[in-house]
Structure 1
Amino acid sequence: MSVSTITETVQYLTFKLADEIFALDVAKVREILEYTTITKVPQTPEFMRGVINLRGSVVPVIDMRLKFGMSATDQTINTCIIVVEVTLEGDTTILGALADSVQEVVEMEPEQIEPAPHIGTRLNTEFIKGMGKHEEHFVMILDIDKVFSEQEMAALQTSGTTE
């Protein structure tokens, strides 16, 4: 989905990773949880911190900072897990996205959003819907469905099942 497909005002949940502000379409967000104990799963990608028990369901938890090549998320009083729905090839998976802190829900008009920068051919910026401007700060609007590859989603779905 490109910026040209954003034709109406959308509400976004903004959150911080390090000093950067990111945003997700609120329609993809199920809930926000306080940081809780995460059970490590062996032989999973480094960015997968483990799984949590969410009302009887096993939910994989992803460290968004590690996924984006930053240092691991430190646990603070503001650290939280954003529970999101990710759709890939028609399958919907519930996962937790570890964030340094949740900021607020903001509405952005289409004219407030610019296309994601094209930084050569070697960097994949497909998962960035656009760059929004909110209170003089840039906000990277994520397409959560494109943050993970098919192989990564398959690994997450496998680790999230209880067999």
Structure 2
Amino acid sequence: MSAPGEKRAAAEGQYVTFGLGAEVFATPVGLVREILTYQTPSRIPNSPAYLLGLTDVRGQGVPTADLRIRLGMAPVDPTLNTRILVLDIALEDRMLSLGLVADRVFEVTTFAADQIEPAPDFGIKWRSDYISGVVRRDDGFVVLIDLPRLLSTTGEAATLADMAAVDQAA
């Protein structure tokens, strides 16, 4: 168990890179079950603004979140490039299947340990503990995002899992 405020470093390995606006993010390929062409999720009343609803993934209702909204970015309308990354995220007491909407998905790529820089210290009070590292490229940076931490530290994972359970019981 890590101490509060201690950041987990990103590990060397394969990552799926995806874009939100002009920013490029990456998540470990092991979390990604599949990548789907965007389909409008079925809305869930009284859900948080970032939760778009449930997406049917092979007969299972998967809570689908707009990562742009969750990260404080402005929402945009889906395009032909919009994708849903279906993730399986291990939480303390269960496995959470979750869809995350990305503006586009680029590639699966390998980052070596010497390419991954620690998450920067921004010097201001801003929640950046979900950034596990950055990779410098010729055209900018790739932010390595720790999705389990992004969701689990705020209790949102429990809400998403509960919504999926309600759909499966129906």
Task: Name the TM-score, length of structure 2 as normaliser.
Answer: 0.88
* Contact 1:61-1:95 at 8 Å conserved across structures: yes
Corresponding residue number in structure 2 for 1:152: 156
Corresponding residue number in structure 2 for 1:55: 58
State percent identity of aligned pairs.
36
Separation of aligned partners in 2, 1:50 and 1:154: 15
Corresponding residue number in structure 1 for 2:77: 74
Per-residue CA deviations over 1:95-152 (Å, capped at 9, x if unaligned) read 0000000011111111111111122462121111100123442000011111113521
- Which runs of no fewer than 5 residues in structure 2 stay unpaired? 1-6
Per-residue CA deviations over 1:6-44 (Å, capped at 9, x if unaligned) read 3xx411110000100000100110000001121000111
Corresponding residue number in structure 2 for 1:103: 106
* Contact 1:88-1:150 at 8 Å conserved across structures: no
Letter aligned with residue 156 of structure 2: E
Aligned partner (choices 124, 127, 130) of residue 130 of structure 2 = 127
Q: Secondary structure at the match of 2:81?
A: coil
RMSD: 1.5
Task: Name the TM-score, length of structure 1 as normaliser.
Answer: 0.91
Q: Secondary structure at the match of 1:38?
A: coil
Separation of aligned partners in 2, 1:118 and 1:92: 31
Corresponding residue number in structure 2 for 1:17: 20
Q: Secondary structure at the match of 2:155?
A: helix
Separation of aligned partners in 1, 2:68 and 2:76: 6
Corresponding residue number in structure 2 for 1:141: 144
Aligned: 1:37 with 2:40? yes
Aligned: 1:27 with 2:30? yes
Letter aligned with residue 37 of structure 2: E
Separation of aligned partners in 2, 1:38 and 1:121: 36
Separation of aligned partners in 1, 2:76 and 2:89: 21
